[in-house]
Amino acid sequence: MTFEEYEKLAAKTAVYPKRGNNLFYPVLGLSGEAGEVAEKFKKLIRDKNYQLDEEFKDAVKKELGDVLWYIAAICFELGISMEDVAKTNIEKLAKRQRHNTLHGEGDDR
């Protein structure tokens, strides 16, 4: 599945107030879902002594899907494509790699 295909399918399930003019809803949703991913890992440490199993992987996969959905919604609200986001990110990382600045701090390194 391409990002474009995903965006179209995700849009069919995007039901939230003032869709198309509501950046805050999907941004807050993304934050919540990212927290749920982190929560799964916290419980992996607490309850399973870092032992990965298929049940854990499946649960994380579902939460990452929710993260992806909110990313698609944010892209929609901003009028940008997920493909453009992915391409821009890879270009940024490749530049950092060329300049040996993958490690360190700051967005403009």
State the CATH number of the domain containing residue 61. 1.10.287.1080
Instruction: State the SS3 of the chain.
Output: CCHHHHHHHHHCCCCCCCCCCCCHHHHHHHHHHHHHHHHHHHHHHHHHCCCCCHHHHHHHHHHHHHHHHHHHHHHHHHCCCHHHHHHHHHHHHHHHHHCCCCCCCCCCC
Number of domains in the chain: 1
Residue 10: domain span: 3-80
* Digit-coded pLDDT (tens) for 33-66: 999 999 999 999 999 999 999 999 999 999 999 9
Q: Residue 85 domain-assigned?
A: no
Q: Residue 101 domain-assigned?
A: no
pLDDT band (50, 70, 90) for residue 100:
confident
* Digit-coded pLDDT (tens) for 14-37: 999 999 999 999 999 999 999 999
* Digit-coded pLDDT (tens) for 69-85: 999 999 999 999 999 99
Q: Residue 109 domain-assigned?
A: no
